[in-house]
Amino acid sequence: MWPLYASGFTTAFGAHGIAANLGGHGNGAVTSLLVLGGLLALYDGAEVVLKPVFGTLADRIGARPVLLGGLVAFALASALYALADSPGWLWAARLGQGAAASAFSPSASALVARLNPAVKHGRAFGSYGFYKSIGYTLGPLLGGVLVWAGGLRLLFTVLAVLGATVALWAALAVPDVPPLPKARQTLLDLGRRLADPVFLAPTAALAAATAALSVGVGFLPVSGRAAGLGTVATGAAVSVLAGCAAVVQPRAGRALDDGRLTTRTGLAAGLSVTAAGLACAMLPGLTGILVGAALIGVGTGLITPLGFAALAAGTPVERLGQTMGTAELGRELGDAGGPLLIAVVASLATLTYGYGALAALIGLGAVVVLARCRRVSAVPER
């Protein structure tokens, strides 16, 4: 399992480590905010388009080859800019990293489910989410140190070495899990399965959690600066958010496996706590920011392992790659949609109303999860 956890860390560290440092250290490649936005969107854009494709491929040929191929491609894409060091190759490297992560991220999730019995899915996905959260936390910090010491080329070099090391580790330690035979699936069958609440409810919850996490990381520092707080205080808020998410995920997974928590109540509680955190962020001053960050972290930490465990429990084993890839697409849409909603509402009113709008939307989601899951006996109450 450890190489799979390392794969989760790699995609998170690569995404946030570079994104947090492009604006200030673009070495001539970032000439405007529009260019910066394009470079940031390349990684996520590739994931939105390709994750369902690679997830389906993992079901067809096996998740392990797709995992290894994605990690090797990530290492090569990172090495591309480390060697070339030119603005044009930065665009190519960032696109290549996003495409590679689209391959190994859903494959790793599928392997976490395949290599663990159903009664341990909560623990497994909780641990996977923990190490991914560590990557999100260390990415901006350690990435900034590397860029300060040797520029973007050093950061890309470290990512190339990391990708190659994890690929070698996975090749030696991850067992081969052959694809399972499956019945022919039409587009109508796929549409029905993806529209089923067994898939839709946990995926929507994961998307909401990702939206709140993205908003917290991106906009809580803005609230801090508006309140006259320094960079240390605003940085502490983001660290509190990421730290709470990392700590809660393994505990939520164990509670699910031990029967102390069900997917229905856990997802509803996570959405409710996340909404409460966004509501607290509406309060002025440091207290509102820190309490909001902590609650958003706890809420998203509850949702993530429970959501993935519910997807694994409600999916035919032979379709796990496709399901995980499509669920990751939902998370990417939440990652983009949350900040976009906040920005639109803030432009029409204020940032406070933006927090309120997302809090109301996620709070409504908690009510819907409770109402719909009561009527869906197909989701195992674990």
Average pLDDT, the chain: 80
Question: How many other CB atoms are found less than 10 A from the CB of residue 258?
Answer: 12
pLDDT of amino acid 374: 54
pLDDT tens track for 282-302: 988 888 888 998 999 999 989
* Share above pLDDT 90 across residues of the chain, in percent, rounded to a whole number: 16
**Distance separating alpha carbons of residues 337 and 380, to the nearest angstrom:** 30
DSSP state of 315: S
In this model, does residue 375 exceed pLDDT 60?
no
In this model, does residue 274 exceed pLDDT 90?
yes
* pLDDT band at residue 272 under the 50/70/90 scheme: very high
pLDDT tens track for 189-204: 445 655 666 777 888 8
Terminal Cα distance for the chain, rounded: 22
Please give the C-alpha separations between residue 153 and each of 9, 11, 36, 74, 345, in angstroms, as whole numbers: 20, 18, 17, 15, 38
Nearest to 155 by CA among 167, 165, 145, 168: 145
pTM of the model: 0.73
pLDDT tens track for 308-329: 888 888 776 767 777 777 777 7
Q: Per residue in 329-367, is it b (16+ CB within 10 Å) or e — as a string?
A: bbbbbbbbbbbebbeebbeeeebbebbbbbbebbbebbe
pLDDT of amino acid 30: 58
- Which of 37-41, 90-94, 182-186, 360-364 ranks highest by mean pLDDT? 360-364
pLDDT of amino acid 360: 93
Does residue 146 or residue 31 have the better pLDDT? 146
Check the CA dihedral 110-115-118-123 and report its sign: negative
pLDDT tens track for 46-95: 777 787 788 778 778 888 898 999 999 999 999 988 888 777 788 888 88
Is the CB of residue 135 less than 8 Å from the CB of residue 11?
yes
pLDDT tens track for 108-140: 888 888 888 877 888 888 888 888 878 877 777
pLDDT tens track for 157-181: 999 999 999 999 999 998 887 765 5
pLDDT of amino acid 81: 86
What is the distance of C-alpha 96 from the center of its chain? 18
Q: Among 215-224, 286-295, 372-381, which stretch is predicted with the lowest mean pLDDT?
A: 372-381
